[in-house]
Structure 1
Amino acid sequence: MLRRAIWQGVLAGLAGTAVMTATEKIEQRRTGRPDSYVPAQVLARLTGLPERRGRPRSLNLAMHYGQGALLGVLRSVMAQAGLRGLWSSAMFTAVRLTSDQVLENATGVGAPPQTWPRGELATDLFHKSVYGFATGAVADLLAARDGPGPGQRHAARLPGRHHDVAPAPRRSPMPAGS
């Protein structure tokens, strides 16, 4: 499961990042909002690279797509486990927002979201939601090809959490290279 979750998650995360980037560009054309170079600043701080003034586009794209791909693996693990659909994508969107805030605040590049102007906060929430739901749609689609996850198999026996219901039976191991 983990091997599949990794490649499927990287793919889902990159797809989600591409969709988020496209919606950001559309929104920026409409609102006039400039590009953000916060991802580049965070990556420079995390890696010890020199902080440059100007527009470090390559660092920005590396952090933007790298973080998207890495977090996509988590969403893929969720889908493989049987956590699929809109509810799971909403849970994952909160993870994406949290990841950004931890990295930005821990590096001193960002400030807590409750201090942001409301319009800026709403824009960020919108774009991270686009990422979360697009990544989830791709991860769910790829995981569905492998059949129901353990959580879904358990729910098929008796929906909900019940202490007196045994776990779903284990599946036979996947063939090597899966």
Structure 2
Amino acid sequence: MHAIHHTDHTILPHPPHTVWNAIINELNGKTTWWHPHNTHQPGPTPPHHTGGTTHTTIHPNGIGKPGPKLHFTSTTTHITPHHTLTQTHTGHFHGTTTYTLTPHPQPHNTTHTQLTITFTTTPHHWPKLLHHLTNLTTKHTTATQHALTNLHHHLTTTNNHQ
């Protein structure tokens, strides 16, 4: 049984290919909208290819602040460009993360995108104890919602400068 199973979602006023590129850039460590809680570094094969990897560090108190750091490596197991990216992860967490992008047509020929992030995992090693002492699901949701707000700002800022 997984200790954490949670889905976060948002609707972004951008087309799926724009949101997709932002996710891929983040997992490749090229952007920082998931800060201050997560940093990403690609492995030898980038995460937008099946078998590609991303090394993630979770900074519960924020980057550069004292406190524990949690690490896991995600391997891409399924990819449908501009729609679905599924990764399995090992390390301090074992499970899966799936990013799903669904277009939402709007008036005036514009398209918004619903981004759904499903995180199903079990803490391992010392984070297992941490999960019993604190509600990691709530902390995960708070950090993810913060990241989604940052993503919206990042996309708006990036598109305004193009």
Same fold, TM-score > 0.5, yes or no: no
Greater relative contact order (CA < 8 Å, ≥ 6 in sequence): 1
Comparing both structures, which one devotes a greater share of its residues to strand?
A: 2
After TM superposition, the score normalised by the length of structure 1 is: 0.35
Tell which structure's C-alpha radius of gyration is larger: 1
